[in-house]
């Protein structure tokens, strides 16, 4: 138990001299990192959209959605991937559950936030609605992942399988709705 306590102490933020950071220092550092992140996002968002669109055309895909569905989650969620791998590498029950919770929360929050922003932009700009299949897919994934994540506080390894399966299944679901059912 003492070993676990010392590991928890090692996890606390420390400055260069090894002293724990004060609450004010943590807030300042967090605000600075968030500001840097927002500047980076603002700088690289438009080129990323252009690159994905160009890649879609070069690959002969019928819609940029398919390339962006596969590529952008890795780019936009890289920090969550790295922190999840860090927590999981400690191989403690508490850390593995924290990793699952982080992934479930990230999927649910990202989909909910992005969907809300998307709807606001569509309404504010008066854009034509051609995203029924994609929207149904986002809602379904958010619902399934949210239900799995809300089912407990400690997760068995097998609970990661439904979440992992949602990735290829949702792409197939969009293809089915777009090209078999004909939703636009």
| pLDDT at res. 89 | 78
How far, in Å, CA of 178 to CA of 184, rounded? 6
The CA-CA-CA angle for residues 4, 10, 12, to 5°, reads 115
CA distances from 94 to 83, 121, 153 (A): 14, 40, 10
Query: Are residues 61 and 76 in contact, defined by beta-carbon separation less than 8 angstroms?
Result: no
Predicted local confidence at residue 148, as pLDDT: 76
Summarize the confidence of residues 166-180 as an average pLDDT.
86
The pTM (predicted TM-score) of the whole model is 0.57
Q: Looking at the predicted structure, is the pLDDT value of residue 27 above 90?
A: yes
Q: For 98-127, how does the pLDDT look when each residue is reduced to its tens digit (9 = 90+)?
A: 777 777 777 777 777 877 888 888 888 888
Residues pairing with 14 in the sheet: 20
pLDDT at residue 13 above 60? no
- Which are the contacts of 72, defined by CB distance < 8 A and separation ≥ 6? 48, 52
For residue 2, pLDDT beyond 60: no
Pairwise pLDDT comparison (65 vs 6), residue with the higher score: 65
């Amino acid at each position: 138990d003492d070993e676990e306590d010392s590991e928890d102490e090692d996890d606390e933020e420390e400055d260069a001299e090894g002293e724990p950071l004060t609450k004010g220092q943590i807030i300042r550092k967090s605000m600075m990192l968030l500001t840097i992140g927002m500047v980076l996002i603002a700088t690289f968002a438009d080129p990323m959209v252009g690159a994905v669109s160009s890649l879609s055309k070069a690959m002969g895909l019928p819609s940029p959605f398919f390339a962006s569905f596969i590529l952008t989650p890795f780019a936009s969620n890289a920090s969550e991937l790295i922190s999840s791998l860090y927590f999981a590498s400690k191989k403690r029950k508490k850390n593995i559950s924290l990793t699952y919770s982080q992934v479930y929360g990230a999927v649910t929050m990202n989909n909910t936030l992005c969907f809300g922003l998307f709807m606001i932009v569509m309404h504010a700009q008066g854009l034509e609605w051609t995203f029924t299949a994609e929207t149904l897919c986002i809602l379904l994934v958010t619902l399934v992942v949210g239900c799995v994540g809300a089912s407990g506080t400690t997760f068995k390894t097998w609970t990661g399988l439904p979440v992992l399966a949602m990735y290829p299944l949702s792409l197939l679901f969009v293809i089915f709705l777009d090209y078999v059912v004909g939703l636009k």
